[in-house]
Structure 1
């Protein structure tokens, strides 16, 4: 059997890099199509750390950016017929860990300023919620396309202060203020997707946004992150066969050893 030497994307969570550099990608794009066409306009997914949430969010970013070339050979290539390019606002809140009030506001300022450099800013927009609403409306007006908002690890700024009542209250109010336009901007939004570790109802951030569909425990999306045994035996079959050859053991024995190391 020919040596494959396929590269594995250890620590890489950017979909475009994985595809452009020909790393192994476990095809989750059928889920991407389903969740963006047949589910709620507002979706939330909770998974533990290092479970693929950021890669999924990055995949959505590439999809909504209309980058059809990145999806060649994947399931969604046969499903999607239009490949519309939408304006995408992608906020990775993992950069706002271990912060106080001023640091959190500074992080939000940098994230918003990045998009304001593309879509402009009204001088009367001062607070994070006003600026986010302004960016969404201008992106919609300038492109003629509804806006996609992706928020990865929405709860990152709050996890370290969960047991600090005063700090939690202050930071939670800042984040609640920042996310508040998502309901008011509904006419301008094509899709909103949020990921996190904690269920959003636990942090009381989205009390106004009561139409988020939580698919965290939805059986039809159970395999949206991670690698299932079926995916391993199909999409990684050649890799496992090569590993078995190198270890001089049978295919099934390698599968058992992989499950012992990684299952669950």
Structure 2
């Protein structure tokens, strides 16, 4: 494969439509999407570390549920899906609500609700955030005649930065609980609900009230729903490996070994394929270098604070640790060990 024939790597692009229409490299994950949306549960939660493709996955779901069939030409789901029904989609991005207080958080939620209310309208009596969410879902259902899809990306972002704060965490958690609470009451009007995040917080309605929410984070069928497997890399990124090996004046075999050493080894269940970090891999191919891209993009504040809370030194991270599977389902603010959070944040793996 000639270098000029390689598609551009979608560095920092989290919109499926832009990736496809811009003819960027796309690693096909649509088979997992089909499996998920036609599964037993209409409520799914996926936990993955930062910069692992959660937002792109959510955007792909958005395009699928709005019936944009043309974008999926040549992808796995094109052969699997036969209906391509267009549903009303309410898409919320909570990544914008980091390092915020109660008033700022409520203001940001207000703005996101308002964007959807411009389409479906807002009754005067709907004032509180949860009332507005409820009426928004019901109006979208009534006006389109179809059940509603709710996509919430990085649902836990407003809470992570205060997870170590006994005073602020309950305040922000209460705001988010009220915002999410209508999802249970609106069940008859909902086709599908999907949430992404890094970790799991207790006392949020999505987990305490929606007892039918399916946490697929550690389910074997979804182990590779985000990230890039070795097979995907070899089959779909051969030209990029060749270009990288030429840039580094090394054989293709040596380049593969170096890629494995630097960016491989994520496991999200057992058994699990080896998962390469997509942010690091794409940057390495784009630059023709082996740099520490993911780690260099910044360590989250919440993790530093939680290391202090558990009296764990950074030098202690990375040694062989043991934990029960049940530990990973414990609410974040009630964890008795730093291990689950280190795993969910991507600093240790199974």
Q: TM-score range by the shorter chain?
A: over 0.9
What secondary structure is seen at the aligned counterpart in 2 of 1:198?
coil
For each residue in 1:127-185, what CA deviation from the matched residue of structure 2 results, as whole angstroms up to 9, or x when unmatched? 11100010100101111111000001111111111122221111111110000000100
- 1:180-191 → structure 2 map (5 Å cutoff): 180-191=181-192
CA apart distance, 1:248: 5.0
| 2:6–2:239 CA contact under 8 A, matched in 1 | no
CA apart distance, 1:13: 0.8
Q: Does 1:51 align with 2:52?
A: yes
CA apart distance, 1:210: 1.4
Q: Distance in 2 between matches of 1:48 and 1:150?
A: 18
Q: Does 1:104 align with 2:95?
A: no
CA RMSD of aligned residues (A): 1.3
- 1:230-245 → structure 2 map (5 Å cutoff): 230-245=231-246
> Which residue of structure 2 lines up, in the alignment, with residue 177 of structure 1?
178
- Larger deviation: 161-170 or 58-67? 161-170
> Which residue of structure 1 lines up, in the alignment, with residue 74 of structure 2?
73
CA apart distance, 1:253: 2.0
Q: Does 1:38 align with 2:39?
A: yes
- 1:1-264 → structure 2 map (5 Å cutoff): 1-3=1-3, 4-199=5-200, 202-206=201-205, 207-264=208-265
In structure 2, runs of 5+ residues without a counterpart are 266-350
TM-score w.r.t. the length of structure 1 is 0.96
CA apart distance, 1:246: 4.9
What secondary structure is seen at the aligned counterpart in 2 of 1:203?
coil
| 2:2–2:239 CA contact under 8 A, matched in 1 | no
- Larger deviation: 174-183 or 239-248? 239-248
What secondary structure is seen at the aligned counterpart in 1 of 2:195?
strand
CA apart distance, 1:258: 1.3
For each residue in 1:48-95, what CA deviation from the matched residue of structure 2 results, as whole angstroms up to 9, or x when unmatched? 111111111011001101111111111111111111111000000011
CA apart distance, 1:249: 3.9
TM-score w.r.t. the length of structure 2 is 0.73
Q: Distance in 2 between matches of 1:243 and 1:92?
A: 34
What secondary structure is seen at the aligned counterpart in 2 of 1:106?
helix
